[in-house]
Amino acid sequence: INAEYMGTFLTMSGLQSVPDKVSFPDEEAKICRFWEEIDAFQESVRRSEGRPEYSFYDGPPFATGLPHYGHILAGTIKDIVTRYAHMTGHHVSRRFGWDCHGLPVEYEIDQALGLKTREDVHALGIERYNAECRKIVMRFATEWETVVKRMGRWIDFRNDYKTLDTPYMESVWSVFQQLYQKNLVYRGFKVMHVSTACGTPLSNFEASQNYREVQDPSVVLRFKILDDDACFLAWTTTPWTLPSNLALIVHPNIKYVRFVEKATGRVYVAGKPRLVDMLYKSLDEVQILAEFDGSELVGKRYQPLFPYWAHKQAEGAYRVIAGDFVDDKTGTCIVHCAPAHGEDDYRVALANNIIQEGTLDCLVDNYGLFSPVVTDFAGQHVKAADKSIIRYLKDHDNLFNSSTIHHEYPFCWRSDTPLISKAMASWFVRVTSLKDDLIANNKKTRWVPDTIRDGRFHNWLASSRDWSISRNRYWGTPIPLWVSEDGEEVVCIGSIAELERRTGHRPTDLHREFVDHLTIPSSRTPGTVLRRIPDTFDCWFESGSMPYAQVHHPFENVERFERTFPADFIAEGVDQTRGWFYTLMVISTALYNQPPFKNLIVNGLVLASDGRKMSKRLKNYPDPMLVAETHGCDALRLYLIDSPVVRAENLRFDIAGVRDVVKEFILRFHNAYRFLIMYALPLHFAPNQREALESSNVMDKWILTVVSSVIRFVAAEMAEYRLSTVLGRLTKFVDELTNWYLRFNRQRLKGRKGEAEQRTSLNVLFEVVYTFARVMAPFTPFIVESMYQNLKFMLPEAERQPSIHFLNFPQPQCTSDPVLERQIKRLQVVITLGRLIRDRRRISLKTPVREIIIINKDVEYLNDLRAFLPYLYGELHVKQVTLTEQEEQYVLLSAEGVPRSLGKRLGKSGGAVAAQIKSWTNDQVKAFVATGRGMVGEVEVTTDDVTVKKTFRGNDAEAVYEAATAGDGDVVMLVDIREDAQLRDEGLVYSFVNRVQKARKAAHLTPEIPLAVVLSAVPEALWRVLTEEPTASMVRFSLPGVALSRVLPENARRLSDPVDVSLVGHSFQLHLISP
């Protein structure tokens, strides 16, 4: 391996040979060092200044955990799109961002310090608590930067943004103040999902992120009706909410029954639709006494299950009220109402004066513990108390039945603990008032795939609820509201300068420990002050403010912000549909009535190979860095984007898929590049684009046309942000380049067709490889950089750039040529047919065959092939090619019915018609083909109903043919598979030449190195074939300048180790020596 080639690119001074084997991971590591040495990313940004701006927003991850495949996938998508934007003439600023506040950080500190309640935090002190949070925020920042850069992503870590930075936090204050001034902020009392592990409420989209299948209690309770011997039966899966019960809810229009349970004689009231299945196995177990609408039950009073709030009975509690959300598909049609723990419960109880606006007692604290009022369960966590509560109800004769139920239940996205519903005082953004504008702005954006925009995201917007943005936590941006003691006077601060003007102090930081103690004199009541509310912002409010806060808008960079808003492009996972995508849209709509982005790629989830979530505990996925060091990041990038995951579907990660990308794409393209260098280097070749584009060789014209069509295709797909379609076309091109163009032009490239043809073909190959490398630059940044650092020495010095990524995306140089593309496609079809027949009969490609007959009734098809007869002879390795339209001489026709068409049109009788079609004779099928119509009894069938097939008539006494068809039988190929001595000898020569070339390659001997070949102990029959005509001339043509000998000289200078060879029963030893 060339030492200079494997060294740093900065030491290269000219075109270098390319080793046969190369470690792509090692090459990528070398590229990473090279980019660092020339500061490649920052230099590319500097060089693009003054170009049209392409705006990109990077969603901020938490740095408290290590990057996983989801981050790598999203990062790859972002890198491809922004690299492409840069290469197509744009200035693309790419700043990395960090989400630094919120539950992920606080939860870790709580666990580390053993803090369980707010009192624990206050005892420690907010200043010290936040200092501990600050310590771990950027704990894995170095690892993130290492992984991101190793994956080939170019993004600015030096000028990153952090949500904990004071300028960022000040912009968040400004965003909030604007919402406040638009009357979009209010303080409310709502039932919300609460994480008891973190002691804080979650927004509705946070609560929707982590649902799980769980087993919960399913209990039916007896509520004893006052002044009656009957009981109401109500159902719940949350026994812990029963101490908070204040009412029972019925639907006014559902039918209810009063009945006697025959087994016990007890009298109950429940919904008639639920008597069977929910309560009893059959109606035989009960005697119905009366039937009535739910409205007749409204106002009836019952005895509380627990004594804790018995005094509320005098205030109007513990009675039946009506609610239209009650259904007849679940439970007993009677809903137990705990206003402190249910959104519908709260709404209906408020409407019926069970509770009053703005006040609500609650028996459960934010950590899910029962208060001292609940004397029987005080201090117990509500979920843990379920069994004790059920036992209590049973002991007090209030339990009708008890079982379990499997259902979906929300868990905290951070602590992985069950959420509870609890009424909380919170500050809200009036999202419901923005609903129509949100839906309209969503329609202005492009999502890939658009089904997420028009489905999941649209539905989420259409059902939007007001957004709770306050958190009773510590490590976050404080909500800038200063409020009087009676709550009547409120001041919203929007900047540090305003805070200084109001308080007389200018904080250097905006975290709680720096601003909580500051007070604002009351303008309403002299001598009193306003104090800041203790809440911080939901961290999603901070990340949703990212477009403004990352540039410290509106305090700085106003013109820059206006130039780059909304973003041209963002990308994240489908889980952000109810997260970052939503908060971005809400805030931008509220502030500017604009969408925050123009284009969005949504990716799905990367799962383990078994379909389960990737888990460090289960170790069910390979370490991304190990994959990178084994197969390379280019391969990982291509594997990820060529999968359902870029269409918002899930991907089961399979390391074999990464390996296949190396084998099927990267290695093959690299081999084409190596082939170019191998033959260009000895000639000191300087490519000439004009000569390449003016080549008259039909194969040259074809491959140049194809690479131009690839450019147009990639440009069109990237304009629509359809990454998932790109790799398939790129892979097809590599196949066309390596399996077709290079195969067809080996002799030209090697100089066997003369120096002029060699230079023309090298010009074309350079143009194609160099062009395709630039096409691939956004997708596989490493391998194309490695190639360019060598290829550029073939360019005029004035055209050389330090990096391929400083070049523009190539423009098509050739117009499309449909006729030529059709001709080549047909050529490929028949050559593939010939290879198929050889494989079937195990006839080596090195062994020639006597004749191939190609049959097609289309004269144009045959004329297309006639234009390429030399390629047919060469690739099919055949002595005679016969093209004929005389199908009847060789082909039998048969027909089959199309089940779907016949069944749709004829129903059950379609099967009988299909059977008759299958029995048609050759002449009947021929008549059908002539007209496109036929009769089966009285039923007329057309080409939609019938498939015509062509098969070989059979062999005669003179020849033995193997047949194959393609294109639904449009083309039939017959191969004469008889073998004779001359054909065997020619096959032997080709096999011998192949072994010599393999030995030469294994010894790293390039074509310009002279050599002689010695065959020790070679059988006389083989020697005669190699040295006597007519086959000797074949050896001389295939191994020009190579002398053959049977004697190894004593002083021979060996160029390789001896190779033991066996060719069709002929065994000998092969020596490569200097002549």
∠ CA(959), CA(960), CA(966), 5° rounding? Answer: 120
Rg (CA), the chain: 39
Residue type, 576: Q
Alpha-carbon distance of 199 to 474, in angstroms, equals 12
Q: Determine the 3-state secondary structure of 5 from DSSP.
A: helix
The one-character DSSP state at 357 is: T
Return the residue matching tokens 């693309």.
Answer: 92
Alpha-carbon distance of 214 to 569, in angstroms, equals 39
Sheet containing strand 971-976, edge to edge, reads 878-884, 849-855, 971-976, 961-966
Alpha-carbon distance of 577 to 449, in angstroms, equals 12
Burial of 970 per CB tally in 10 Å (0-12, 13-18, 19+): middle
Structure tokens at 1069: 């030893």
φ and ψ at 745, to 5 degrees?
-120, 15
Which residues does 352 contact at the CB level (< 8 Å), separation at least 6? 247, 321, 322
Strands 490-492 and 481-483, sheet pairing: antiparallel
∠ CA(978), CA(979), CA(982), 5° rounding? Answer: 140
Name the H helices within 358-400: 386-395
Q: Which helix (H) or strand (E) holds 546?
A: helix 546-549
Greatest alpha-carbon pair distance for the chain in Å reads: 123
Alpha-carbon distance of 58 to 153, in angstroms, equals 12
Per the CB < 8 A criterion, the answer to whether 574 and 565 are in contact is no
Structure tokens at 510: 């905006």
Per the CB < 8 A criterion, the answer to whether 1062 and 991 are in contact is no
Task: Look at the alpha carbons of 925, 927, 932, 934 in this order and tell me if their dihedral is positive or negative.
Answer: negative
Q: What residues does 854 pair with on adjacent strands?
A: 883, 973
Return the residue matching tokens 């084994």.
Answer: 630
Number of C-beta neighbours around residue 90 at 10 A: 17
Q: What residues does 420 pair with on adjacent strands?
A: 194
Compute CA 750 distance to the chain's CA centroid, rounded to the nearest angstrom. Answer: 44
Strands 1043-1045 and 1012-1016, sheet pairing: parallel
Alpha-carbon distance of 664 to 659, in angstroms, equals 9
Query: For residue 460, which of 582, 601, 573 has the smallest C-alpha distance?
Result: 582
Q: How far is CA 328 from CA 221, 222, 256, 335, 571, in A?
A: 17, 19, 10, 11, 43
Supply the residues annotated as catalytic: 60, 99, 540, 576, 580, 613, 616
Q: Determine the 3-state secondary structure of 95 from DSSP.
A: strand
Alpha-carbon distance of 384 to 201, in angstroms, equals 20
Q: What angle separates helix 633-641 from helix 69-87, to the nearest 10 degrees?
A: 90
Residue type, 866: R
